[in-house]
Amino acid sequence: MRHILFWTATAAAAALVGGCDSNRAETDANIAANDSDAAVQASTDDAPAVPMIDASGKVIGEVRSGDGPDGARLMIDARGLPPGEHGLHIHDAGLCELPDFKSAGGHWNPTGKKHGSGSADGAHLGDLSNVTVGADGVLRTDVAVAGTYLRTAQPSAQAILGGDGAALVVHAKADDYKTDPSGDSGDRIACAVLGTAEAGSVSSTDASGTAAANTQ
> What residue ranges bind Cu ion (CB under 5 A)?
89, 169
| Least distance from Cu ion to the Cβ atom of residue 169, Å | 5
- Min dist CB 81 to Cu ion, Å, is 15
SS3 52: strand
Nearest distance in Å: CB 86, Cu ion: 10
DSSP letter at 82 equals: P
Computed from CA positions of residues 91, 92, 94, 97, in that sequence, does the dihedral angle turn out positive or negative? negative
Rank residues 64 and 89 by Cβ distance to Cu ion and give the closer one. Answer: 89
One-letter identity of residue 102: K
Is 169 or 190 the residue whose CB approaches Cu ion more closely? Answer: 169
Nearest residue to Cu ion on Cβ basis = 89
Which C-beta is closer to Cu ion: that of 72 or that of 169? Answer: 169
Shortest separation between residue 144's beta carbon and Cu ion, angstroms: 18
Identity of the residue, 182 or 208, whose beta carbon is nearer to Cu ion in the bound complex: 182
What CA–CA distance (Å, rounded) separates 16 from 1?
A: 23
Are the C-beta atoms of residues 185 and 175 closer than 8 Å to each other? yes
d(CA 211, CA 216) in angstroms, rounded, equals 9
